[in-house]
């Protein structure tokens, strides 16, 4: 394994993943030497989706919050931010359903809809993880905070002992 954590040497030129090789084959970005071409394409698309996010973040996000547009809209509607991202993903699903039914889209390519759907799903996951981390219980002391409750740690939502009322 290299210092950067990249364990997959190219079977053709000895280079490592996420590089363009010009060896015995046409230029290909490899994920692993034994990787199936479909898996290579999958990983290449993931990298492209990261670039798409970075590009769109300049229009929709802020320097302080790349998901500002989704987070702000969700706050205005009183829903968790990750749910707001999934609502936007659902719009993309509806668009793809329309394509499946009609065979065409008027204003966006099918590939764009797939890409946006994937990016919204990842954004939702990041926001869900952030939300979960914010609600994570913290250890308060070495003894239970309330003898009747017996909880060593908890959030007020999870407790129910009445000590937070």
Structural domain spans, the chain:
60-134, 137-165
Residues 6+ positions from 149 with CB-CB distance below 8 Å: 159, 160, 161, 162, 163
70 neighbors 85 (Cβ within 8 angstroms): yes
Residue of 54, 86, 83, 81 whose CA lies nearest to 69: 81
The model's pTM is 0.63
- Which of the residues in the chain have pLDDT under 70? 1-33, 136-165
Q: What is the pLDDT of residues 10-50, one digit of tens each?
A: 444 455 544 443 333 444 454 555 788 899 999 999 999 99
Residue 117 tokens, joined: 């759907």
């Amino acid at each position: 394994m290299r210092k950067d954590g990249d364990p997959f040497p190219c079977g053709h030129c000895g280079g490592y993943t996420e590089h363009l090789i010009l060896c015995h084959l046409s230029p290909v970005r490899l994920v692993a030497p034994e990787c199936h071409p479909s898996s290579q394409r999958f990983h290449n698309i993931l990298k492209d989706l990261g670039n798409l996010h970075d590009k769109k973040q300049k229009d929709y996000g802020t320097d302080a919050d790349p998901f500002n547009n989704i987070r702000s809209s969700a706050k205005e509607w009183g829903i968790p931010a990750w749910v707001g991202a999934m609502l936007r993903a659902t719009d993309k699903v509806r668009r793809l359903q329309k394509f499946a039914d009609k065979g065409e889209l008027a204003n966006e390519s099918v590939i764009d809809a797939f890409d946006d759907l994937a990016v919204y799903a990842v954004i939702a996951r990041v926001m869900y993880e952030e939300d979960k981390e914010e609600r994570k219980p913290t250890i308060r002391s070495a003894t239970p905070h309330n003898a009747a409750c017996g909880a060593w740690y908890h959030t007020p939502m999870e407790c129910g002992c009445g000590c937070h009322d």
